[in-house]
Amino acid sequence: MSNVKKLKNQWVSDMKVKKAYDAMTPEFTIAKTLIAAPVKAGLTQEEVAERMGTTQSVIARLEAGNSLPSMKSLYRYAESTGMTPAIQLRNV
């Protein structure tokens, strides 16, 4: 097991940390998806930004996963990477 995995397992054994980590899951999931889209399309952050009419720093913030992007931003990001967003509601 890698040191990162060991550290993560150690941290999430603390219930306060686990609760905070779980609360960030939607942001992490969206960030992971946003990072993968331009890679799949062969685009840089700068190219995505140009297509969206924004700056590279805005793209970096979207991909950082620190907050949930607006629906408008998600649609513009998807379009700029040649993709279509698909939003699902699932039973828990």
d(CA 80, CA 92): 31
Class of domain 24-80: mainly alpha
Q: What is the pLDDT of residue 61?
A: 94
DSSP code at position 13: T
Please, what is the angle between helix 25-41 and helix 71-80, to 10°?
A: 20
Residues in the chain: 92
The alpha carbon of 40 is separated from its chain's Cα centroid by a whole number of angstroms, namely 14
Q: In the predicted model, is pLDDT for residue 92 greater than 90? A: no
pLDDT (tens digit per residue) in 3-50: 888 887 888 788 888 888 788 788 888 999 999 999 999 999 999 999
Residue 77: name the closest of 66, 67, 43 by CA. Answer: 43
> For the CA atoms of the chain, what is the radius of gyration?
16
pLDDT (tens digit per residue) in 54-77: 999 999 999 998 888 999 999 999
Q: What is the pLDDT of residue 2?
A: 80
